[in-house]
Amino acid sequence: MQRAYYQNSITNFIKDSVDEIIGKLSSNHANRTLTDLQKNAWIQQIKILKRQLMSFKGYIFFEFSIPRMGKRVDNIVIINDCVFVIEFKVGSSKFDTYSEIQTIDYALDLKNFHEGSHNAKLIPILISTEADNPSVSTDSVLSLETAAKTNKTELSNTLNHFLTSSSNSIDPVLWSNTAYKPTPTIVEAAQALYKGHNVEEISRSDASAINLSTTADCLNRIISNSKLKNEKTICFITGVPGAGKTLAGLNIANQRMKSNEDEHALFLSGNGPLVDVLREALARDIVSNPHSSEIIKKSEALRNTSAFIQNIHHFRDEYLKNKDKPIERVVVFDEAQRAWNQKQVQAFMRRKRGIENFSMSEPEFLIEVMDRHSDWCVIVCLIGGGQEINTGEAGLSEWVSAILKKHPNWKVHYSDLIINSSNYLNSSTLKKWLINHAKAESELHLAVSLRSYRSEKLSEFVHALLNLERSKASILYQEIQPRFPIYITRNLDKAKQWLKSKRKGTERAGIVASSGARRLRTENINVKNEILPANWFLNPSCDIRSSDFLEEIATEFDIQGLEIDWACVAWGANFYYASNKWHYRNFKGTKWQNIN
């Protein structure tokens, strides 16, 4: 995969004409609309760089891919042992905070996810071409806390400021070809997909990207066949923890929405915070997108994103009232194993909707809604093995039973892991039915973890700690500590200061605690105080509702499926260690009660 639109030695770059360079940039940009604004910006960058790099020997990249963010940095310049990460603001006379943070983020992305940059000297540089008063704070730039700020006439001086006579020169071609293993957060992935990037652009360039692409190809084939043959089809996708099932679901829903608008593809999740945060993040991105040719109001953007991502319970309630067929032809259910069984739905309907004797499980009802189509439709279920964690969650068996008993005309495609693993189906009868009446597809299993390369040992450490395997936990802790620093303190102010010192660019910090840690309020940590997850995860650091402000506390119910970079885990007395074992307690009234 070519990472840059144009790359060359500085010597050859200076020799190449502006038209030659623009030609190469334009041809590699051909998959997206090239505006005159972008073309003119390139011309200005080329002219400035030709003048400012005259006295240097090295290598230059234009539009270098930053996969995790679904973006490209304007320039990478490698000279001696330095990797200069350069972002241009052509025509700007000021250094705005947003642009500086963006430049720092590019450098952080390289440092964290690009093997050739793990130990490289990375220098983020923001060039506002018409600005006065360039500034360089050497230590904070090298630690990626700030960017070096310069203009169109001072760039060469800024580069010289960081160059030394080091003999450890970087081989630029080897550097660019080392493995890039990004792990985008689900918010970053959703934003990039919605903008039109594909999975290969935002994912790791190894087996995981191939795995995701293969799954997408398989699903697209199944959907196209169903459409062609007027068939109703359900697909069951499985995956190892961290393999990107939600990403796969967002990807296929987004692909079908973009290429086949008449299908009204929809991503459904019962994870309320995830739905709220994704909708809000996409809407904010649409409104603030500087490349958009039209001004879009936030309310309109939210309507658009809400049509694409919905809460599964709101979808269910809509079609309880509305007996018509849905407009959606392709529906993706995230965490489908957590849909409710008949008993749980019946209790909910009686208590909350005033409906007596509701006779269907949630999977049965959702299939019935899609079955209202007279011709074709497709349901895609994302299944986590053994992850039915709350009372009344039905698991995969309820989906298969509903097809077997009520909708035998539906075509079924399933991951072969469902048969070969005990994590998904316990019923031998249902397994036999699948073998005889459905089609196994190996491509519907995501076998590679997206995040395991960062530390295969981290989850092992947590597992050993909770199982009180002391010696194993101790060894694993030493292995993970350099990359996943873990510290313990009884001073909350110290913890906050540590988080603030670690967070850089748009990385997020926050305080989290168990919803059962009720007595932490003596430390000004109130787990009963409700937060709005979209504000907590997305608002800027100066907002008191933001996670970064370190004032509002999130519980496990607020952050399910969502990520922050630096966390203070506030540990309460509902789960504690004493006498060589863990103790579990629940706070009721005025005292703790043991959970046996």
| Domain endpoint, select from 137, 155, 177 | 177
Residues 434 and 496 in one domain: no
Residues 11 and 92 in one domain: yes
- Considering the domain boundaries, does residue 476 fall inside one? no
Greater confidence (205 vs 334) lies with: 334
Asked if the model's pLDDT at residue 201 lies above 70, the reply is no
In terms of DSSP H, where are the helices of 327-455? 342-348, 362-370, 396-406, 417-420, 428-437
Asked if the model's pLDDT at residue 386 lies above 70, the reply is no
Residues 137 and 70 in one domain: yes
- Considering the domain boundaries, does residue 53 fall inside one? yes
Place of tokens 């799954």: 215
- Considering the domain boundaries, does residue 477 fall inside one? no
Question: 253-281 as b/e, with b when 16 or more CB fall inside 10 Å?
Answer: bbbbbeebeebbbbbbbbbbbbbbbbbbb
Amino acid 327 reads I
Residues 412 and 497 in one domain: no
Segment 243-264 shows an average pLDDT of 89
- Considering the domain boundaries, does residue 61 fall inside one? yes
Identify the weakest region by mean pLDDT among 84-98, 201-215, 379-393, 535-549.
201-215
Q: Give the DSSP letter of residue 158.
A: H
d(CA 313, CA 305): 17
- Considering the domain boundaries, does residue 454 fall inside one? no
Residue 63 dihedral angles phi and psi, to the nearest 5°: 55, 60
CATH number at residue 220: 3.40.50
Segment 80-99 shows an average pLDDT of 94
Structure tokens at 324: 């018509």
From residue 150, how far is each of 86, 155, 215, 566 by CA, in Å? 10, 6, 46, 31
What would the pLDDT profile of 332-368 be if each residue is shown by its tens digit?
999 898 888 899 989 999 998 888 889 999 999 999 9
d(CA 209, CA 197): 13
Residues 515 and 372 in one domain: no
Asked if the model's pLDDT at residue 149 lies above 90, the reply is yes
Residue in 257, 431, 389 with CA at minimum distance from that of residue 328: 257
Asked if the model's pLDDT at residue 330 lies above 90, the reply is yes
Considering 64-78, 121-135, 181-195, the range whose residues carry the highest mean pLDDT is 121-135
Residues 310 and 359 in one domain: yes
Amino acid 92 reads S
d(CA 156, CA 153): 8
Asked if the model's pLDDT at residue 505 lies above 50, the reply is yes
d(CA 454, CA 483): 8
Residue in 270, 239, 236 with CA at minimum distance from that of residue 402: 236
Asked if the model's pLDDT at residue 385 lies above 70, the reply is no
DSSP 217-280: HHHHHHHHHHHHHT-EEEEEEEE-TTS-HHHHHHHHHHHHHHH-GGG--EEEES-HHHHHHHHH
| Domain endpoint, select from 159, 177, 195 | 177
Instruction: Sort residue 152 into left (φ over 0), alpha (ψ -120 to 50) or beta.
Output: alpha
- Considering the domain boundaries, does residue 481 fall inside one? no
Asked if the model's pLDDT at residue 116 lies above 70, the reply is yes
pLDDT band at 210 (very low <50, low <70, confident <90, very high): low
| Domain endpoint, select from 138, 159, 177 | 177
Residues 257 and 398 in one domain: yes
Question: For residue 165, what are the domain limits?
Answer: 4-177
Q: What is the pLDDT of residue 32?
A: 59
Contact yes or no for 568/554 (Cβ under 8 A): no
Percent of the chain predicted with pLDDT > 70: 93
Residue 437 dihedral angles phi and psi, to the nearest 5°: -125, -5
What residues contact 219, with CB distance under 8 A and at least 6 apart?
Answer: 235, 237, 252, 380, 444
Q: What is the pLDDT of residue 453?
A: 45
Residue 274 dihedral angles phi and psi, to the nearest 5°: -60, -45
Amino acid 376 reads W
Residue 336 CA, chain-centre distance (Å), reads 19
State the number of CA atoms in the 13 A half-sphere of 95 facing the CB: 20
Residues 409 and 435 in one domain: yes
Place of tokens 């580069």: 159
Residues 509 and 575 in one domain: yes
Mean pLDDT of the chain: 89
Greater confidence (22 vs 183) lies with: 22
What would the pLDDT profile of 121-145 be if each residue is shown by its tens digit?
999 999 999 999 788 889 999 999 9
Question: What is the count of structural domains for the chain?
Answer: 3
Segment 496-505 shows an average pLDDT of 94
Residues 88 and 191 in one domain: no
Q: What is the pLDDT of residue 94?
A: 93
Asked if the model's pLDDT at residue 456 lies above 70, the reply is no
Contact yes or no for 382/237 (Cβ under 8 A): yes
d(CA 22, CA 270): 48
Do the bridges between strand 232-239 and strand 445-446 make them parallel or antiparallel, or are there none, so unpaired? Answer: parallel
Residues 354 and 422 in one domain: yes
Contact yes or no for 297/255 (Cβ under 8 A): no
Residue 171 CA, chain-centre distance (Å), reads 32
Residue 494 CA, chain-centre distance (Å), reads 30
Long-range CB contact pairs, 385-391, < 8 A, 24+: 385/238, 385/337, 385/417, 385/421, 385/423, 385/424, 386/423, 386/424, 387/335, 387/337, 387/338, 388/337, 388/338, 389/338, 390/338, 391/344
Residues 377 and 327 in one domain: yes
- Considering the domain boundaries, does residue 419 fall inside one? yes
Residue in 214, 110, 109, 127 with CA at minimum distance from that of residue 170: 110
3-state secondary structure 556-587: CCCCCCCCCCEEEEECCCCEEEECCEEEEEEE
- Considering the domain boundaries, does residue 474 fall inside one? no
Asked if the model's pLDDT at residue 293 lies above 70, the reply is no
